[in-house]
Amino acid sequence: MPKRVDHEDRRARIADATWRLIAERGIEATTMRAIAESIGMANGALKHYFPDKNSIVRTAFSYVFDATNERVRERLRGETGMDALWIFCEEIMPVADLTDLEARVVLPFWQRALADADLRRLYTDSMALWRGQIIGFLAEARDEGAIGTAMSDELVAEQLLAMLNGLQALALLDEASATREVQQRTVAAYLESLR
């Protein structure tokens, strides 16, 4: 089925070009035309894959979310509990050039999700997945005797999820205060406090 493969391949190429454009130039400058140009595709052909801007933003966010999760998976190999949780956090906090770029997609995604139920559903599903992962790592950490906090794992997961979301905004918009080092110390100290 070469045609099908082609289609999926092209969608992936568009998604990759799109999230980078949004991250580097901003959502306003990322027009259908700019995307088409960046991959040398006709504007009309692009519309065949993505009918409108929200479908593109949705795909770009999905792409970034999947890429984050894939990196976590790759780095996890054998790690469990608190070590695994730290890897997870490191791949979400904007503490590297890549995660900083990713956060530049997250902020416009949030704004658009306010008025788009499809985007909200994608966000809700994404957060549910992360909650589950965090709770899984915490359960391993309890088994390993690595944490002893009296707080429930569910509450810890909510706190950490809120922190990781908040750092997307703080790191990009208040970068002199929420430096990469401050972000890392902030989250590391929180995880340490669970021991």
Residue number, 4 or 177, with CB nearest to its own copies: 177
SS3 for 96?
Answer: coil
Cβ within 8 Å of residue 26, ≥6 positions away:
104, 108
Only segment of 59-67, 70-78, 82-90, 182-190 that touches its own copies (CB under 8 A): 182-190
- The distance of closest approach from Cβ of residue 21 to its own copies in the complex, given in angstroms and rounded to an integer, is 13
Q: How far from 136 is each of 109, 182, 192, CA to CA, in Å? A: 27, 26, 17
Q: Minimum distance between the CB of residue 63 and its own copies, rounded to whole angstroms?
A: 18
Residue 5 interacting with its own copies (CB under 8 A): no
Asked if 181 touches its own copies (CB under 8 A), the answer is no
Take residue 150 and report the two structure tokens written for it. Answer: 């009296």
Of 127-156, binders to its own copies (CB under 8 A) are 127-128, 131, 149, 151, 155
Positions in 18-47 near its own copies (CB under 8 A): 26-28
Residues 86-125 close enough to bind its own copies by CB under 8 A: 104, 107-108, 110-111, 113-115, 120, 123-124
Residue 132 Cα distances to 67, 85, 127, 129, 139, angstroms: 18, 12, 9, 5, 11
Nearest distance from residue 146's CB to its own copies, in Å? 17
* Three-state secondary structure string covering 10-55: HHHHHHHHHHHHHHHHCCCCCCHHHHHHHCCCCHHHHHHHCCCHHH
Instruction: Candidates 24, 144, 173, 195: give the one binding its own copies (CB under 8 A).
Output: 173
For residues 139 and 163, which CB has a smaller minimum distance to its own copies in the complex?
163
Nearer to its own copies, 5 or 176 (CB): 176
Residues that bind its own copies in the complex, under the rule CB under 8 A: 26-28, 104, 107-108, 110-111, 113-115, 120, 123-124, 127-128, 131, 149, 151, 155, 158-159, 161-170, 172-174, 176-178, 182, 185-186, 189-190, 193
